[in-house]
Amino acid sequence: MTAGPGAENATPAIELRGISKAFGPVQANKGINLSVPRGTIHGIIGENGAGKSTLMSILYGFYRPDSGEILIGGKPIAITDSQTAIRAGIGMVFQHFKLVQNFTVLENIILGAEEGPMLKTSLGRARAELKRLADEYELQVDPDAPIEELSVGHQQRVEILKALYRRADILILDEPTGVLTPAEADHLFRILRGLRDEGKTIILITHKLREIMEITDNVSVMRRGEMVTSVKTAETNPAQLAELMVGRKVLLRVDKAPAQPGAPVLEVRGLRMVDADGVERLRGIDLDIRAGEIVGIAGVAGNGQTQLLEILGGFPEAGAKLSGEVRLKGEVLALKGSDARARRRAGIGHVPEDRQVEGLIMDFTAWENAAFGYHDAPEFQNGPLMDNAAIRADAVGKIERFDVRPPNPDLAAKNFSGGNQQKIVVAREVERNPDLLLIGQPTRGVDIGAIEFIHKRIVELRDAGRAVLLVSVELDEIMALSDRIAVMFDGRIMGERLPDQATATDLGCLMAGVEPDGDAAAAMQAHDRTGAAR
């Protein structure tokens, strides 16, 4: 890939010199130097906790560096807050969007821009400007739709539009494709290339080496707070980047023997769910998982996978009406009410899709979170009391075995990087050796070294004769891990495939609600419709 037109310009768009930042004993950034040429897409990669988000938060004025200098367009600048960053032409699209959910698209776009260049614009002019940007950059969204009614892909469009509305020249995107469907990710990349080609500078943080190879001009690698190297993308390859990131060779595929399925562990019959608004989310699910097998559920987010996992895990949405039958090792599970702890006691481990909301209590420490849901287990009791020393000792072992960084059991969950938070949840659930492991988006936001590790643990659990239900929007992950693939669309299972017989096109059609023999155009339309749904 060649660099965009502005790449020859000698003054870099961004230059960081000797940036350092510590959080207590953790040195998140150590003397970072980085130069990003104008009109290029620059990838930043690194393991979880390497310091990428910290560095970008410094650039966006969220944190002040302890030392070092920032130059934008060759001029030194003190970025004391995000308003200063915005005035310097920097826009940021966060991993967890910062939109006001019950405001409309237009309201979100103008919110906070009052102090910016659009100070005196009327709402009418703002609307016209939004339409112009949306047309020019193919970022169509309904200006009057409340954010909460948009799919995540469309919410991300709003974030990008918001930055463009503020005349951002430099756009930072933190893990932008983690929540997108493959089609949405392709669309995003087309937009980023367009922005680059008109001279804007883009920084892309991602764990996906495929994306780095596909879209970036240059890539910088961080490791343990330091900048290891910056290279031209055309002059490197995924294996080399993986090694630079992790400091050792990484297996970029899953190594597993054929499954040897045993007796049924999970049997789901005619499971239906109507949510509190009367919308039917599950329309009669039949699904079996046997001991020693991994069944992967593929599908575009929002087609009922979340509800299925939540119901099986024992915490259905409030007000949901459920019917059908679920058996675990032959025993019928009560569908009424919500009792995640009872499900865990019955032998169901659960790594929820959204670790920050359902998997962890963010203000609690790592050691408390490592036992969360199991704290009433006999080994954690001392007479009538909880044995905190035992819980803590157990957590220390998990942190060590799962290489959670920093290995500090007393740190609050919120102060770990996303990938390390995920390791805490996975360690807690996998190490209980459950009969059935429910695992949703296990490697979202997780670095490749840790992905390799988490995938290995899942396969080991299977090889120990356990059943695994995997839900992931990453088709690669589904194909690599599953012994059987079920595709969900609109609350139904559209079909099942064996991974060695399934092609991405075949699965893509089923994910769009169309039998693979069906009309391709209808498939695409259906796919677009699901993209717009929640």
Ligand X SMILES: Nc1ncnc2c1ncn2[C@@H]1O[C@H](COP(=O)(O)OP(=O)(O)OP(=O)(O)O)[C@@H](O)[C@H]1O
* Binding to ligand X in span 117-156, by CB under 6 A: none
Cβ atoms within 10 A of the Cβ of 351, count? 26
The least CB distance from residue 451 to ligand X, in Å, is: 12
The full DSSP string for 58-90 is HHTTSS--SEEEEEETTEE----SHHHHHHTTE
CB 286 within 8 A of CB 344: no
**In sequence order, what DSSP letters do the residues of 150-181 get, joined into one string?**
S-HHHHHHHHHHHHHHTT-SEEEEESTTTT--
Q: Which of these ranges, 48-56, 102-110, 187-195, 490-498, lies near ligand X under the rule CB under 6 A?
A: 48-56
- Residue whose beta carbon is closest to ligand X: 417
Pick from 38, 42, 52, 344 the residue near ligand X by CB under 6 A.
52
Taking the complex as a whole, the smallest distance from the CB of residue 360 to ligand X amounts, in Å, to 14
Mark the segment that binds ligand X (CB under 6 A) among 148-156, 285-293, 308-316, 409-417: 409-417
The residue among 22 and 133 lying less far from ligand X, judged by its C-beta, is: 22
CB of 147 to ligand X, least distance (A): 24
Residue span binding ligand X (CB under 6 A) among the ranges 115-123, 338-346, 360-368, 410-418: 410-418
Report the residue from 31, 116, 238, 406 that binds ligand X according to the rule CB under 6 A: 406
φ, ψ for residue 114 (rounded to 5)? Answer: -55, -35
CB atoms within 10 A of CB 247: 12
Give dist(CA 512, CA 183) in Å, integer.
11
Q: Which is nearer to ligand X, 242 or 268 (CB)?
A: 242
CB-CB contact of 343 with 435 (8 Å): no
Tell me the sheet residues that pair with 171.
Answer: 91, 202
Binding status of residue 53 toward ligand X by CB under 6 A: yes
List the one residue from 4, 49, 176, 347 that touches ligand X (CB under 6 A).
49
For residue 51, state whether it binds ligand X (rule: CB under 6 A): yes
Distance, in Å, from the CA atom of 418 to the CA atom of 48, rounded to the nearest integer, reads: 7
Copy the structure tokens of residue 377. Answer: 């287990």
Query: Residue 343, interface with ligand X (CB under 6 A)?
Result: no
Applying CB under 6 A, what is the total number of residues that bind ligand X? 19
Q: Which of 4, 39, 43, 46 binds ligand X (CB under 6 A)?
A: 46
54, 201, 369, 443: which one binds ligand X (CB under 6 A) = 54
Cβ(41)–Cβ(215) below 8 Å: yes
Residue matched to tokens 């400007």: 129
416 binds ligand X (CB under 6 A): yes
Nearer to ligand X, 51 or 449 (CB): 51
Distance, in Å, from the CA atom of 106 to the CA atom of 95, rounded to the nearest integer, reads 21
Residues 4-43 that bind ligand X (CB under 6 A): 23, 26, 28
Between 51 and 91, name the residue whose CB sits nearer to ligand X. Answer: 51
SS (H, E, C) 206-253: CCCHHHHHHHCCEEEEEECCEEEEEEEHHHCCHHHHHHHHHCCCCCCC
**Contact positions vs ligand X (CB under 6 A):** 23, 26, 28, 46, 48-54, 405-406, 415-419, 447
